[in-house]
Amino acid sequence: MNKKEPKTRLPNVRQPMSEPINRRTFIKKGTVLGASTVLGVSAVGWMQNLAFAEAKVDMAVVEGADYFKSTIRAVKMLGGMGKFVSRQSKVGLLINSPWDNPGCYVKPEITLAVVCMCLDAGAKEVGVIKHLDNSYWRRSAIYERFRDEARSVRFIGDNFREVSFPNGRSLKKAEISKGMLDCDVLINIPIAKHHDGIGFTGAVKNMMGGQSRNTHRFFHFSTGGRGYYDDVEFLSQCIADLNLLRKPDLCIMDGTEMITENGPFGPGKLVRPQKVIAGTDRVAMDVYGARLLGLKGEEILTTRKVFAYGMGEIDLSSLKIQETTI
Amino acid sequence: MKDAILRANLIVFSMLVLVTVCAAAQQPAEDLSGYLPEEGEVAGWKLSEDPKNYCGDDLFLMIDGGADIYHEYGFRQVLRAEYLDVNEKSIKLEIYQMKSPASAYGIYSFKVGEGGKPLTIGHEARLQDYYLNFWKGDLLVTVIGLDSDAETVQAVVALAKAVDVRISYSGKRPDLAEALLDASLGFSDAKYVRGPLGVMGSYVFDTENFFQVREGVIGRIGKCQAFVFRYADVEKGADVFTKAVKGFEASSQFTGQSLQEGRYTMIDRDKALVTIGRTGRYIAVVIGQDRDEGASVLNRLLTKLAVLKDKLSYPFSDVFNRSRTSCIPRGNCFPRVQDITNLKKLFAVCGSS
């Protein structure tokens, strides 16, 4: 993706919010910040931005209680949304959102931040591949301030097309949402949480959100299993194969509040690392996310299988992970 | 003549009872909405909208991949309702009807996890930070607050109590759980499992279900993890043991595999010793870092199981039935299993007279 969007359009997330903020005030403040940056008024902030932009960051992790700000900051640390979303592009968001128990869904503040950043970067259209209803947005205290942005999001996941996977070991064809196939930019937005069936769900597993129920059934039952998880080996291989479809242009993982048991639906015990993780390496992000739950990410079957495909790095020590607290 | 009339009446009556029993047995699940507390029962909270009912495989519409564990235990239907206070704060109430009290106890034991505060609601109840589970009869009731504020938690408990008083029947734990969860073995964090998914949450032995789990009790004894699996008969138990040993021999997850005196041992990736033993139709597995403690726990388990032998009934078919249950509109209520049992008793009395 090109870098057409000026960084000054991003909000200054380092400053405390003294007034209710909406996207317009963000842009306004960002413009002022940009001007001041050019004039050298905010030299420290400028140097910090430059440092983030120049150092190649593989994964950005931001810890803080304001998830909206954390998300914007994390993307900024990767170079800003303009690095991933070009003007007039169609953006598809794959959000783990179908549940409503605490720690089971991506916080709407994170989704709202992504939507705002995409619009701000000049996206022509922002669509969701899994349906979002108003009850999802209403779980956020800041929804009213971003109602227009939320309403602009279209559901694009209702039609499916058969896709071949010639290199898939278990999966040879699948019905995939056209919205996921046709979008110019795919942003994968999982939550790192416990899953009864395969132990952990994160960026890799979240790709299943773009497939039809027929394909879902194939993953779970095609080897003759009577239960959804009778053949975890096959299921995990299918998930790995599915990830051959396309690499998400950006992954933003919710590591703020997650269940450590009874996943994916809950309720269950919670951990609250209050982290938002952004990056493009879904394997590394899953390893990181699993560690937040106290799991060994590199031992999770789906992670090992996508790593074997060369889709990402399993050894986090070989990556540049930038962590900050706001 | 009188005898003939009496006999004819008895036959007609018996046929009527039989038809009723058969009809009831084939009926879809009952309406659960009668268990929902009404406005005013819990001060400040009222039902927000029509509750949603999901039957059989429709549970996947509600919780997608989370549904299978319920089906593994034997799921019939769930009623999901939302209660709101004046500030639109929400509490979710879910009433799961399982196929038997054993199923209800099983999914309860699976969901409650470790910790929490036991409460005297239903047969067993446990309150966690922001939610509560209890089971009673063939029902599992889950009440979920969306935060852990004191007011919310208070309302969660009050709603659970209001449901409890509406359930007028009871059930008991499955006999395997009753036998193993007495004080003698010192099980803690115990779960009654009905399939591989219930086990995987505690330990992943393999991805191919080597143990062919259909019933078991798992938990902790001392510092060890302990697993007991029960099979239909001794032959089945022996067959599973043999096949599991073969499977583990080829597994890259374990090292140091060895079979001595009927016990199979191996080391897992955390350097813990895994020991597997069998007696009759039971297989016991103990996992621990301390070799002596592991051996001691396995000995105690096998001794206990050897005493049980065939005293316990094996009520479950080896075939997992995932037949679909159709839904019925709210307001209809069909005879419960207990009612059918009563009809059968009545039929038996008439027949003998």
HEC assignment per residue over B295-308: HHHHHHHHHHHHHH
Dump pLDDT digits (tens) for A92-149.
999 999 888 999 999 999 999 999 999 999 999 999 999 988 889 988 999 999 999 9
Q: Look at residue B319 and tell me whether its pLDDT is greater than 50.
A: no
Search chain B and give the residue with CA nearest A219. Answer: B65
**CB distance B65–A228 less than 8 Å?**
yes
Best probe of the A interface among B117, B197, B322, by most A CBs < 10 A, is B197
Given the structure tokens 């607050």, which residue do they identify? B145
Q: Are A103 and A270 in contact (CB under 8 A)?
A: yes
ipTM metric: 0.75
For B247-260, write each residue's pLDDT tens digit. Answer: 999 998 899 999 99
Question: Are B113 and A228 within 8 A, CB to CB?
Answer: no
Q: Per the structure block, which two tokens stand in for A178?
A: 């056209």
Predicted pLDDT at B17: 53
Facing A226 at nearest CB: one of B111, B146, B322: B322
**Is B146 within 8 Å of chain A by CB?**
yes
Interface contact A199-B204, CB threshold 8 A:
yes
pLDDT digits (tens, 9 = 90+) for B125-178: 999 999 999 999 999 999 999 889 999 999 999 999 999 999 998 889 999 999
Q: Which residues of A touch B247 (CB under 8 A)?
A: none
Q: Is the pLDDT of residue A238 over 80?
A: yes
Residue showing tokens 């095609």: A222
Q: How confident is the model at residue A196 (pLDDT cuts 50, 70, 90)?
A: confident
Residues contacting residue B183 through CB under 8 Å, at least 6 positions apart: none
Nearest by CB to residue B196, choosing from A230, A264, A267, is A230
Cβ within 8 Å, pair B68-A101: no
What is the reported pLDDT for B216?
Answer: 96
Among B300, B259, B298, B303, smallest CA distance to B280 is for: B303
Name chain B contacts of A261, Cβ cutoff 8 Å: 113, 201
Q: CB of B115 within 8 Å of any CB in chain A?
A: yes
Termini Cα distance of chain A: 28
- Report how far residue B304's alpha carbon sits from residue A154's, in angstroms, rounded to the nearest whole number: 61
The lowest-confidence range among A7-16, A295-304, B86-95 is A7-16
Neighbouring-strand partners of residue B105: none
Evaluate if residue B94 carries a pLDDT over 50. yes
A78 burial via Cβ count (<10 Å: 0-12, 13-18, 19+):
buried
pLDDT of residue A14: 33
A61 three-class SS: strand
Q: Is B177 exposed, middle or buried (0-12, 13-18, 19+ CB in 10 A)?
A: buried
Q: Is B144–A264 a contact, with Cβ atoms under 8 angstroms apart?
A: no
pLDDT at B332 over 90: no
Tally Cβ neighbours within 10 Å of residue A186: 24
Q: Determine the distance in angstroms separating the CA of B241 from the nearest CA of chain A, rounded to an integer.
A: 19
pLDDT for the residue numbered B100: 93
Residues B54 and B80 sit within 8 Å (Cβ to Cβ): yes
Chain B residue numbers with beta carbons less than 8 Å from the beta carbon of A226 are 320, 322
SS3 state of residue A282: helix
Closest-CA residue to B15 (of B338, B350, B335, B352): B350
Helix, strand, coil tally for chain B in percent (to 5):
40, 25, 35
Confidence of residue B28 (pLDDT cuts 50, 70, 90): low
- pLDDT (0 to 100) of residue B24: 46
**Strand (E) or helix (H) holding A128:** strand A125-128
Q: State residue A98's pLDDT score.
A: 85
Q: Is B87 exposed, middle or buried (0-12, 13-18, 19+ CB in 10 A)?
A: exposed
Q: What is the Cβ-side half-sphere exposure of residue B12, based on CA atoms within 13 angstroms?
A: 6
Segments of chain B assigned E as strands: 46-47, 52-55, 75-84, 90-98, 117-119, 124-127, 131-136, 139-145, 187-193, 216-221, 224-230, 255-260, 263-267, 273-279, 282-288
Residue with the two structure tokens 């115990």 = B190
What's the CA gap between B205 and B268, in Å, rounded?
A: 9
Paired residues of A186 in beta bridges: A92
**φ/ψ (deg, to 5) at A313:** -105, 130
| DSSP H/E element including A176 | strand A173-177
Give B186→chain A minimum CA distance, Å.
23
pLDDT of residue A45: 45
Q: What is the pLDDT of residue A231?
A: 77
Residue B150's pLDDT is what?
Answer: 95
**Cα atoms found within 13 Å of the Cα of residue A231, Cβ hemisphere only:** 16
**Mean of per-residue pLDDT scores for chain A:** 85
> Nearest CA to B60 among A239, A190, A227?
A227
Query: Rounded mean pLDDT of A11-24?
Result: 41
pLDDT at residue A47 tops 60: no
Q: Give A191's DSSP letter.
A: B
Sort residue A103 into left (φ over 0), alpha (ψ -120 to 50) or beta. Answer: left
Residues of B within 8 A of A170 (CB-CB) are none
CB atoms B64 and A264 under 8 Å: yes
Whole-angstrom distance, CA of residue B94 vs CA of residue A160: 33
Does the distance separating the beta carbons of B201 and A226 come in below 8 Å?
A: no
State residue B85's pLDDT score. 94
The answer to whether the bond into A267 is cis (omega within 30° of 0) is yes
Residue A254 pLDDT class (50, 70, 90 cuts):
very high
Question: Which uninterrupted H or E stretch holds A324?
Answer: strand A321-325
Tell me the sheet residues that pair with A121: none
Which residues in chain A touch residue B201, judged by CB atoms under 8 angstroms apart?
Answer: 196, 261
Residues 6+ apart with CB under 8 A from A34: A6, A7, A8, A9
Any A CB within 8 A of B92 CB: yes
Please count the CA atoms within 13 angstroms of the CA of B175 that sit on its side-chain side. Answer: 11
Nearest 5°: CA angle at A182, between A179 and A187? Answer: 70
User: Above 80 in pLDDT, residue B185?
Assistant: yes
Confidence of residue B25 (pLDDT cuts 50, 70, 90): very low
Q: What is the mean pLDDT of chain B?
A: 84
Could you tell me the two tokens for A40?
């050298």
Q: How confident is the model at residue A302 (pLDDT cuts 50, 70, 90)?
A: very high
What secondary structure letter does DSSP report for B24? H
Weakest mean pLDDT among A195-199, B147-151, B205-209, B336-340: B336-340
DSSP A86: -
So what's the pLDDT on residue A56?
86
Secondary structure (3-state) at B18: helix
Section B13-34 average pLDDT:
61
How far apart are the CA of A199 and the nearest CA of chain B, in angstroms? 7
Report the distance separating Cα A297 and Cα A237, nearest Å: 16
Per-residue model confidence (pLDDT) at position B157: 98
Is the CB of A172 inside 8 Å of chain B's CB atoms? Answer: no
Q: Are strands B139-145 and B187-193 parallel, antiparallel or unpaired?
A: unpaired
How close B253 gets to chain A, by Cα (Å)?
Answer: 10
pLDDT for the residue B204 = 86
Please give the pLDDT value at position B314.
60
B131 touches A: beta carbon within 8 Å = yes
Strands B75-84 and B52-55: antiparallel
